[in-house]
């Protein structure tokens, strides 16, 4: 069956270092992928997305890489800050399935001062 | 301020006592959806609505009802709550178009405990 999952449940990062959060997916029919950030006590917040016909997209301090050959997605956060401490979810969207959105299990990022 | 508002934020109830969690958005979004979040399972979709009077089941609809009588409101109804419905619930909305679901706006969540 289709699934979207994450490799590491918790990532501890030194402030100022770069963070890399990984995500594996199994459905090759996915049209695009989204990264969400969820801070404690809040709902998920959109960070960045990437279309399936792209392999890289950059935002402010974040870069998403997509490797369709191995069905792997990553989110890179440059110069990690204390405010980046949160749980990060990847999600896939399949337009043919009515824009069905499937979330991964989440990775917690802890930024150490 | 653009937002999705859920109420209540916390709710403790007993098995079988009907409850409603309200959700309202002020962005004139066509699409609204309910998710539950459980440890290790991520966010799972319960029900969604593409527009007024148009609702569809998500991945885990059993035990839940929804209604979409107005564009801004999308209440989640538990007719007879059971302990396995103890969870953190999120309402979300987005505009439809080429990228429906792409930029969901989430509420702050409702933590429900069913005893």
List the strands of the sheet with A62-67, edge to edge.
A4-6, A19-25, A72-77, A62-67, A56-58
Give the residue from B4, B32, B33, B104 with the most A CB atoms within 10 Å of its CB, the best one to mutate: B104
Kindly report the three-state secondary structure assignment for every residue of B70-83: CCCECCEEECCCCH
Instruction: Tell me what the mean pLDDT of segment B15-30 comes to.
Output: 96
Q: Which among B40, B101, B108 is the nearest to A101, CB-wise? A: B101
Nearest CA in chain A to B57: A100
| Binary contact (A46, B90; C-beta < 8 A) | no
pLDDT band at A8 (very low <50, low <70, confident <90, very high): very low
Predicted local distance difference test score (pLDDT) of residue B49? 92
Query: A31-40, B21-30, B72-81, B90-99: lowest mean pLDDT where?
Result: B90-99
Chain B CB contacts of A46 below 8 Å: 102-105
Cα–Cα nearest to A23, from A92, A90, A101: A90
CB contact under 8 A, A43 and B108: yes
Residues 6+ positions from A43 with CB-CB distance below 8 Å: B4, B90, B92, B106, B107, B108, B109
Model confidence pLDDT, tens digit, residues A80-106: 999 999 999 999 988 777 677 888 878
């Amino acid at each position: 069956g289709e699934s979207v999952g994450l490799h590491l449940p918790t990532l501890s990062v030194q402030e100022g270092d770069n963070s890399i959060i990984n995500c594996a997916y199994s459905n090759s029919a996915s049209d695009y992928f989204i990264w969400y950030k969820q801070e404690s006590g809040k709902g998920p917040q959109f960070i960045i997305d990437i279309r399936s016909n792209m392999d890289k997209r950059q935002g402010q301090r974040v870069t998403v890489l997509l490797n369709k050959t191995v069905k792997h997605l990553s989110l890179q956060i440059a110069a990690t800050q204390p405010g980046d401490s949160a749980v990060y979810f990847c999600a896939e969207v399949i337009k043919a399935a009515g824009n069905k959105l499937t979330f991964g299990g989440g990775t917690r990022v802890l930024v150490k001062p | 301020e653009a937002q999705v508002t859920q109420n209540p934020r916390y709710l403790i109830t007993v098995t079988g006592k009907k409850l409603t969690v309200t959700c309202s958005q002020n962005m004139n979004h066509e699409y609204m959806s309910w998710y539950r979040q459980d440890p290790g399972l991520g966010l799972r979709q319960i029900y969604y609505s593409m527009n007024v009077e148009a609702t569809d089941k998500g991945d885990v609809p059993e035990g839940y009802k929804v209604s979409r009588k107005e564009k801004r409101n999308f209440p989640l109804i538990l007719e007879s709550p059971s302990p396995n419905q103890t969870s953190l619930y999120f309402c979300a909305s987005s505009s439809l178009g080429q990228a429906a679901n792409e930029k969901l706006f989430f509420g702050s969540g409702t933590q429900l405990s069913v005893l």
